[in-house]
Structure formats: structure tokens, C-alpha cells
Structure 1
Amino acid sequence: MCTRYRVGASGKKLAERYGAVEAACDAPGVEAFPKRRGWAVCAVKGELRLGTMGWGFPPPPNGRAPVVNVRNLASPFWRDALARPAQRCLVPVTEFCEWEGEAGRKRDRWFSVPSLEIFSFAGIWRQTAAGPVYAFLTCAPNALVAPVHPKAMPVILHPEDEARWLSGNIAEVLPLAAPFPSQLMALAE
């Protein structure tokens, strides 16, 4: 489960990358962690808007911690947000971390997409009493991520699929929840 990633770009650069209007907001730090604010791009009334949201959906009734990764796409907990294009977002990323090793001796391993300075996780968001929050989808890991984290990896969208993620019907977008090609990624040594 990915619980740490980086966005090594300014709000201005992100807005340019996505062709988005940048909302007036305090920029989050370069490193993103659950329960903190992170960048998100949403489609609002026909235009893309870049702003910040809290990372983590309120937990289901029997849960305790915010839910930061969307793994079971068939779950009723996610059904409404996935079905409604207005509740989908892009989560800008420059690299993400998975942890490797035994408890107490874990080391952080960083993955990137060298051909894309900024890439996108497929996200969903919703409004809460404390403001908007987001989580992003995960899928089976590809051949590069699996040796480090065999359970899952974030859903990375190809740039040409970003608009479809934000506007398509659920039957068009669920197939996007697939492992990103490992040959297009790199693992920092």
C-alpha cells in the first residue's frame, strides 16, 4: 500500500502540466503522507482545477484510520465515487515509495516514470465536514514493483488516459485500473 509519494513541482508548474486553473491555496510539502494535504486536479464545470485536499477518506463504520488507497473497486464503499466522473481526480506525482524488508529494518524504495517528469495516479475525492479529501486507486503490481511490494501498486495513468479518467463512464474507466508497464518505470538505487 502506497502511503508516501513526492511532488517535486510548484503549483504553477503543475497547473501548466495539466492545463489547469490553480486555486488559491497553501502549497503542500514535497512529500505527501496520509492525513496531510496533497495536490489534486479535478474537472469542474468544464475546466480543470488544481488545488489541495486532505489525503484519506473517512473510514467505514468499522474502520479506524483514514482510507488512502482504493483497492477493492467492487466495494460499496467506493461505488458512488467511482461511478461519478465529478468525484474522480488526478493526483500529481513525481515519484512514489514502497517499503521493502522486515519490520524494524525496512527501507524506502522510490519508483518513477523517467519519461514523465510529472505523472498521475487515478484518484477519487469527496467533500467532508473538514473539507475535500482524496484517495487513489491501486492494482496488482507490475514486474518492477512486485519484488518490493507484492500486494499492490498505485494506478498510474498514461497521459492520454487522464481526460478519460475524469470524464468517462464507469465501464470506460475501470479498465484503466491496471499495472503501468514496468519497462516505462525506474527504481532508484
Structure 2
Amino acid sequence: MCNLYTVRKTAAEVAEYFRVPNPIQSNAGPEVYPGTPGTVIIENNGIREMRSMTWGFPLRLKDMKPDAKPKPVNNIADLTKPMWIGLARKPQWRCLIPVTGFAEAEGVKGSMTRTWFSVKSEPVFAWGGLWRVSDEWGPVYSGAMTDANEAVAPVHSRMPVVLYPHEYDLWMHGSLSDLIALQQRKYPAQSILMERTNDLWVAKRQVVSEEPTLL
């Protein structure tokens, strides 16, 4: 799962990297948590746009109280599940999530620390995602996950679907089979940089990191 990532670049730098003509200022912070604002890249009439959206699709569980807030489903375990496949089939609901690094918790429960992963020689990279407009939070997005490569596996069994720059258009315009192939392939471990820290992992909020098995 991925419940924390960073975008330590300005809007102008992100726009230049992703060839977006409209850099926008968002209220998203440099660290992005589930249920909080983040910046994504979508396409509208063939032109890439930066949009500010909430990270996580709102989900109400059957045992939740009527006035309880939905849980943000911020990770996509399987693009072929009913919750996702309808969006995955349609290019207009695909997005690129700008990332400079993603974190996983490591260590003993209660005193876990943040371990960061980034892509070598890439100041920013794209995580393949989907988005939609929700009744609860307006535009929302979630990121596709895949099996961890050898660099991430010592810390967690899953990792974001990291895309090469030449795969950005494939994610945005390819077939459903193309997206599934990208989700199933492993990003090379030699391209990943790991940084262990002493920073405590502090959960900002309760999250649903992957969709329930019934979906």
C-alpha cells in the first residue's frame, strides 16, 4: 500500500516536466496523505491539465454510522475489479500522479519509522492512477498498486505502479489490456533509491488503503 507520498517541486516545475500548459497553485502540501488534496495530471480534449483533487475515493462501509465520514480508498489493488474497471476502460478517467517519493512504515508497531523510495535520476515521476467526480468530495483520485520489486519488498509487499516517461501516453490512451500489463509488470529494482529515516510514522487519519474484497 501507499499512504504517504511527496511532491517536493513547484507547480511550474511539475507542469514543465509533464508538458502541461496551465500550472496551477494547489492547497496540497509537499506531503500528501489519504483524504487530503493532491495534484494530478489529466487530459481534456487532448491537452494535459493539472487538477487539484482529494486523494482517495469515498467509501461507506455497511457498519458505519449514518453521520460518519466516508473512508478514502487511495490504492487500487486490481484494475479489473468492479469498483475500477469501468473507469479504467475509459481514457478520460485516467490520470498521472506526480510524485517525488513515497513512504512505507518500517519497524516495530508503535515506533515505526518512515522509509522513503524514489526513482534514481528522476526529480519527479508519475504514478498511474484513476479519477472521478464524487458526490462527497468532488474530484477524487486513487493510485494503482503492483507487487513490490526487490528494492521495496524488504519493507512492503506492494508498491505504486511507477511509469517510465515513454509510458505516460500509454497509460492515458492505451487499452485496458495495456493498463493491466503495466500494473502486472515490475519496475526495475536497480532504478529505485531507498532511504531509511528515524522519522516516526504518525498516522494522520484512519484509511482504507485497498478496496474491500467484496468489490
- TM-score normalised to structure 1 length: 0.94
Distance 2:14 2:117 in 1: 19
1:181 matched to 2:192? The reply is no
TM (norm. structure 2) is: 0.83
> Contact 1:22–1:51 at 8 Å: present in 2 too?
no
Alignment length (residue pairs): 188
Counterpart code for 2:125: F
Q: Secondary structure at the match of 2:57?
A: coil
Q: Choose 87-96 or 61-70, whichever is displaced more.
A: 61-70
Q: Would the aligned equivalents of 1:165 and 1:173 in 2 still touch at CA under 8 Å?
A: yes
Match of 2:99 in 1: 93
Tell me, yes or no, if the aligned pair for 2:24 and 2:50 is still in contact at 8 Å.
Answer: no
| Equivalent residue number for residue 8 of structure 2 | 8
Q: Deviations over 1:102-129 (max 9, x none)?
A: 2102111000112111101000000112
Query: Does the Cα contact within 8 Å between 2:15 and 2:23 map onto a contact in 1?
Result: no
Identity %: 34
Which has the larger displacement, 77-86 or 54-63? 54-63
Structure 2 residue corresponding to 1:170, chosen from 164, 170, 176: 176
CA contact (8 A) 2:37 2:55 kept: yes
How far 1:25 sits from its partner (Å)? 4.5
Gaps of 5+ in 1: none
* 1:171 to partner: Cα distance: 1.5
Give the number of the structure whose alpha-carbon radius of gyration is greater: 2
1:51 corresponding residue in structure 2: 51
Separation in 1 of the partners of 2:23 and 2:89?
25
Query: What is aligned with 2:163?
Result: 157
Asked if structure 2 preserves the Cα contact closer than 8 Å seen for 1:153 and 1:179, the reply is: no
**1:113-132 matched pairs, under 5 angstroms:** 113-129=119-135, 130-132=137-139
Alignment of 1:68-83 (within 5 A): 68-83=74-89
- Give the CA deviation at 1:27: 3.9
Q: Which 5+ residue runs of structure 2 have no aligned equivalent?
A: 65-69, 197-215
